[in-house]
Chain A
Amino acid sequence: MDMWNIFVAFISSSIPLGIPLLYGSTGEILTEKSGHLNLGIPGIMYVGAISGVIGSFLYEMSCGNVKENMVPALAILIPLLCCIIGSVLMGLIYSFLTVTLRANQNVTGLALTTFGIGIGNFFGGSLTKLVDTDLPNIILTKTSDFFCVELPFADKLGWFGQIFLSHDFLTYTAIIIALVVSFVLNRTRVGLNLRAVGENPATADAAGINVTRYKYLATSIGSAIAGLGGLQYVMAYASGVWSNNAFGDRGWMAIALVIFALWKPTMAIVGSFLFGALCNVYNYVHHFFRLGHTANRELFNLLPYIVTLLVLIITSMRKKREHQPPQSLGLSYFREER
């Protein structure tokens, strides 16, 4: 392969890598704009993924594991719906604890992450037992095929098609969702109200905004969006193969990306592609550089984490008021507090 083709393949394969991060950070941005720091996002993404997996696993089973028996629309809608239900339930647990009971947001979020990863691994380990195999993974390649239909002309347009048109529909959905969230936050009345809730809930309350409802909705919708990131990872990036803990710490990177993106979904698009590429360097670096010992390549696994650290350090030095997190992020709101 010549360098150009490798480069195109690198870019093309980096994009889906960044998509779970984009879902996660878009969801988290929406949640944080309501003043809630949801550290449960990694767990929610796990739950979103496993819920979708359970849905499609049962559907594949009911069709006797024959692709021809499956209806494409159902093959996509069932996992999608399961994923959204699962992650919204997680979002509701978080909202109930932090909004209604005013529990500490950090503790609740961390607990939810542990809980979500646990749920993911539990079902990930037990689903396979239903079909009497000893495989450690759940393999849903048939469903995955439905998710990964390329856009038309993708293979006829050379590098352009490979980079821009060859992805699964959840990749494009992620970008659309990020743009929609950005539009809603900045250009609509609902967005203005939501931002006010996150900045100063007492002000929003006095202005007649239902603070509790906004917080619940933002958290739940944010969770649903984040959950889709988990589903995209399994169905598109991992080609329908669920293995326990494979999703790794993408959820945490998504949260770090929120800070990198200055709470702007459009910036999150740029950021997630950048981080996708950083994660992907490991797979391609040996094509570009002579690395000597293969162990040296392992160092490139560090890259996204080092950049995350740098981003956190650099962004914490930023002073401009518009670039700060929502003012009452992490604080519970109680109207009659004196």
Chain B
Amino acid sequence: MEKTPAIELKNITKTFGAKVIANKNVCLTANHGEILSILGENGSGKTTLMNMISGIYFPDEGQIFINGEEVMIASPKDAFAYKIGMIHQHFKLVDVFSATENIVLGLKEKGKFNLKAAEQKVEEICHKYGFEVDLKKKIYTMSVSEKQTVEIIKVLYRGADILILDEPTAVLTPQETQKLFAVLRRMRDDGKCIIIITHKLHEVLSLSDRVSVLRKGEYVGTVNTCETTESQLTEMMVGKKMELNIDRSEPKNMEDRLEVQHISCVNRQGATVLDDVSFTARSGEILGIAGIAGSGQRELLEAIAGLQYLTQGDIYYHNPKTGETDDLRNKTPLQIRELGVRLSFVPEDRLGMGLVGNMDIVDNMMLRSYRKGKSAFLERKKPKDLAEKIIADLEVVTPGADTPVRRLSGGNVQKVLVGREIASSPTVLMAAYPVRGLDINSSYLIYNLLNQQKEKGVAVIFVGEDLDVLLELCDRIMVIGSGRITGMVDARTATKEEIGLLMTKTASVEESAEGGSDNG
């Protein structure tokens, strides 16, 4: 079948301020009835490029052609007019609205405003592509995958022919991802042009027809998926051949460091989020935690860090220096630190819980050290040295140590956070999704850092979503489902399928209910 170009970009350039060049002379073409992947590392300008197509940004230079005609996309409204729909990485949904309300938002349909009629029309779309979602449900009660479904229906309802998905699988379970892919393929067969932005190579290979690669804002090339390989794509993406294996050393001198016994806790709504969780984290090993997103991983780490109130159970810390055992149950983070427990925590929400976005790197270092010293004045020299050391060692791309961290890209923010947490030479290091949204280079840098810590004898707890990585990086993997521990496996012998089964084991009741409203 001869494919006609749906959208063509020619020599697109966009800069932010004088220094940051987000896109430079980018040219690419996407056809009707095909899935095009845009592959690139973080900060390579994928999202900026797509934002220009959807009218959020306006390009400084270059032309955009839609169905062969040159167009100006000055606002999201124009983008709709050209039937372009974008599904953002951070969903653009109003939390207190129902699914239907979100779907019809901003439309200027003729006639009386009628939610019921709109609902029927939405249902037709759901039926056509096989979405299943409760249209009356409020967004804030939905799972991530349901929200994504609403986003996709929203652009389809507006008659989008060109769909752009920004890292659609970053927050989905493997099962949800498969469902999403099935829907996307159905839309492709319907003649729609689908562009997905991603850096997960295996997804690119399994889903897309063609791949366009961006590197540092520049267009590298486009290849047909069936003619390419993972290593070729990686090379295009990072510019040099990369060793993609993680060095996993045998754990040495293992001692019990952290003993979690029968802990439970409830969330603000009174629902049980952790139910009788027990495990032991040992020094010199990486304990992986696998599970469907929102199964209690966050609460578990927060409980250890002293941020959750436990309704039952104890957390014992075996101090390697004094040989004493302390109970950390329901102690504040400060009390825990005063006990001499050296606990480092890399939370899931980097700029929310980990760092202060408006403060520069030095000030963020001081969040950990401001209590040190006896003088009434702050000691700035050491944090400044530390900041500079992190910038140099971890190759943080930033104009300087005095740049607010929110101006850095996701990967660099994470490097600053992990760097700071490691610098306090912890005995327990907890990291929740430390590579979420990071490109391959940064991800491996983080993995190596975790490995180094393990070799130093730190008890590392790693919450991850990519099972391949968990299997390659960790020594043991604990699987959590609906707040319960459903299994503990040896990462060297376990298989993905085995873990996948454990992930859904006790969650089976919820999974079937949730699965009903997933992407079909």
Contacts and interface: CB of A to CB of B under 8 A. Distances in A.
Contact of A206 (B88, B108, B138): B88
A203 B138 contact: no
Interface in B227-275: 268
A209 interface: yes
Contacts of A321: 95-96, 138, 140
Contacts of B77: 208
B135 to A, nearest CB: 15
A206 B108 CA distance: 14
B105 A199 contact: no
Contact of A199 (B57, B88, B95): B95
A335 interface: yes
A335 B56 contact: yes
A208 B75 CA distance: 8
B268 A319 contact: yes
Contacts of A192: 97, 101, 104-105, 113
Contacts of B96: 199, 321-322, 324, 327
Interface in A176-220: 187-189, 192-193, 195-196, 199-200, 202-209
Contacts of B93: 200, 203
Contacts of B75: 208
Interface string B92-128: 1111110001001111110001000000000000000
B407 to A, nearest CB: 7
A338 B403 CA distance: 14
A206 B94 contact: no
Nearest to B103: A207
B116 to A, nearest CB: 12
Interface in A283-338: 319, 321-322, 324, 327, 335-336, 338
Question: For B56, B106, B407, which residue has the most chain A Cβ atoms within 10 angstroms?
Answer: B106
A101 B201 CA distance: 44
Contacts of A189: 104, 107-109, 113
Given A188-B113, A193-B106, A207 B76 contact: yes
Interface string B34-58: 0000000000000000000010110
A327 to B, nearest CB: 7
Given A338-B16, A338-B407, A206 B95 contact: no
Given A208-B75, A335-B56, A327 B95 contact: yes
B351 to A, nearest CB: 13
Contact of A195 (B86, B94, B108): B94
A192 B138 CA distance: 14
A15 B16 CA distance: 57
B82 interface: no
B106 A199 contact: no
A206 B76 contact: yes
Contacts of B345: none
Interface in B52-92: 54, 56-57, 75-77, 80, 86, 88, 92
Given A188-B113, A319-B268, A321-B138, A207 B95 contact: no
Interface residues of A, number: 25
Question: For B54, B86, B88, B92, which residue has the most chain A Cβ atoms within 10 angstroms?
Answer: B92
B94 A199 contact: yes
Nearest to B138: A321
A206 B54 contact: yes
Nearest to A319: B268
Nearest to B78: A208
A200 B80 contact: no
Contacts of A336: 56-57
B121 to A, nearest CB: 15
Interface residues of B, number: 28
Given A195-B94, A203-B93, A208 B101 contact: no
B92 A202 contact: yes
A193 B105 CA distance: 6
Given A203-B94, A321-B140, A338-B407, A208 B106 contact: yes
Given A196-B97, A199-B94, A335-B56, A204 B105 contact: yes
B499 to A, nearest CB: 34
A207 B113 contact: no
A202 B76 CA distance: 11
Contacts of A319: 268
A202 B93 CA distance: 9
A206 B54 CA distance: 8
A203 B105 contact: yes
Contacts of A203: 92-94, 105
Contacts of B107: 189, 207-208
Question: For B76, B88, B101, which residue has the most chain A Cβ atoms within 10 angstroms?
Answer: B76
Contacts of B88: 206
Contacts of A193: 105-106
Given A189-B107, A338-B16, A196 B76 contact: no
B106 A196 contact: yes
Nearest to A202: B92
Nearest to A322: B96
Given A203-B105, A336-B57, A208 B80 contact: yes
A336 B57 CA distance: 7
B169 to A, nearest CB: 21
A196 B138 contact: no
Contacts of B106: 193, 196, 204, 207-209
B407 A196 contact: no
Interface in B425-469: none
Nearest to B75: A208
A200 B95 contact: yes
Contacts of B105: 192-193, 196, 203-204, 207, 209
Instruction: List 9 tightest A-B contacts by C-beta distance, closest first.
Output: A207-B106, A208-B77, A203-B92, A189-B113, A209-B106, A206-B92, A199-B94, A208-B106, A207-B105
Interface of A: 187-189, 192-193, 195-196, 199-200, 202-209, 319, 321-322, 324, 327, 335-336, 338
14 contacts: A189-B107, A192-B113, A196-B97, A196-B106, A199-B96, A200-B93, A204-B105, A206-B56, A206-B86, A208-B77, A319-B268, A321-B95, A324-B96, A336-B57
Given A195-B94, A206-B56, 19 more contacts: A189-B113, A192-B104, A195-B97, A196-B106, A199-B94, A199-B97, A200-B93, A204-B94, A204-B105, A205-B56, A208-B75, A208-B76, A208-B77, A208-B80, A321-B140, A324-B96, A327-B96, A335-B56, A336-B57
